[in-house]
A and B are shown apart, each in its own frame.
Chain A
Amino acid sequence: MSIETGNPSALAIILIMAVVTLVTRWGGVFAMSFVPIGYRVKRFIHAMSGSVLVALLAPLAITGDNGARLALLTTAVIMLTLKKPLPAIAGGILVAALFRQM
């Protein structure tokens, strides 16, 4: 591993990135400490937790290549039928790999 020389600003930028990321990791918990967690808040939180994943995945499914789409489709189908995550994930990856080799 080379010794850090001549580029002191790189480390500063990395530290700033780390702090910004830490703010995001702590900010949500901190903000919620001022909110009493009642029935309505729980409904919101429950709905939002699945929605984070869906919102993350939607553009991947739409803008991805056919390999990506087939992978997601395979994972969904195996998950619905076998209800086991590991075969579902492995199947998705395998399909993407095979499709892209063609």
Chain B
Amino acid sequence: MTNEMASEEAALHRLDGALTWQGFRELLPISLFVIVFGAAFGLAATQAGLSDASIVIMSALVFAGAAQFASLELWGPHIPLFTMMLTVFAINARHLLMGATLSPWLQPLKPAKRYGVMLVASDANWAMAMQAFSQGRPGLGLLLGGGIALWSFWVLGTWLGLYFGNAVSNPASLGLDMVMGCFLLAMVVGSEKNLRMLVIWAVAAGASLLAYRYLPENSHVVVGAIAGGLVGLFWGSRDHEH
């Protein structure tokens, strides 16, 4: 690592109002789709018997779509608390990895800021932030501003779903269930591609599928990601020694 690179890296963790606003605007298109998911959640939660206030509070405080949908499956007169906690933890465990991958740029920040921006970390804004870092651009504005956009529209969509949920009772027929999948895939395909990355991705995909098939539910993301990370760790160190 040269000094030049070190000073460049130091600038990448910049975070100010202008970068946050820019991040907000960059995540706006995907956030509009998030309204639809939010509405679908609002409708599903109503059908599962939650009160209107509980539903909006859940979206505002939990802000994790997949885990929220899964929690509805467990909702009823007697909610199995431990199973609920385990399910939410397993589905959201990928946040642990996201936090870890962001740590090189979060560690220079003061703790309040560091943990503050993580409040709104989710798949889309994290992926955009990581892409920015890998291209040598500051990414924390995308994480924070983009996260605020996603959070606002998730809560707004949830609330709209209480009243107009029937309009999006079948988002899959409009292809809307594929928005996040296509978005994340575009991030993967748009990133650095070489033999090393392709092998890492292949191992991650293989491990994820094996875990999906044979390991406890919701473990596949963590298993696949760590498998890919380990390939990168060992392959990387060999490169370094040469």
Contact A58 B205 (CB under 8 A): yes
Q: How far is the CB of B99 from chain A (nearest CB, A)?
A: 3
Q: Which residues of A contact B115 (CB under 8 A)?
A: 26, 29
Contact B54 A4 (CB under 8 A): yes
Q: How far is the CB of A3 from chain B (nearest CB, A)?
A: 7
State the total of A-B contacts with C-beta under 8 angstroms.
293
Q: Which residues of A contact B232 (CB under 8 A)?
A: 43-44, 46-48, 51
Contact with B along A13-45 (1 / 0, CB 8 A): 111111011111111111111010101101111
- If over half of B's interface residues share one DSSP class (helix, strand or loop), that class is named, otherwise mixed; here it is helix
Q: Which residues of B contact A53 (CB under 8 A)?
A: 127, 184-185, 187-188
Contact B182 A55 (CB under 8 A): no
* CB proximity to B under 8 Å, residues A37-91: 37, 39-40, 42-60, 62-63, 67-68, 71-72, 75-76, 79-80, 83, 85-86, 88-89
> Footprint of A on B, CB under 8 Å?
1, 29-30, 50-54, 56-58, 61-64, 67-68, 71, 79, 81, 84-85, 88-89, 92-104, 106-107, 114-115, 118-119, 121, 123, 127, 130, 134, 162, 172-179, 181-191, 197, 200-201, 203-209, 212, 220-233, 235-237, 240
> Footprint of B on A, CB under 8 Å?
1-5, 7, 9-11, 13-18, 20-33, 35, 37, 39-40, 42-60, 62-63, 67-68, 71-72, 75-76, 79-80, 83, 85-86, 88-89, 92-98, 100-101
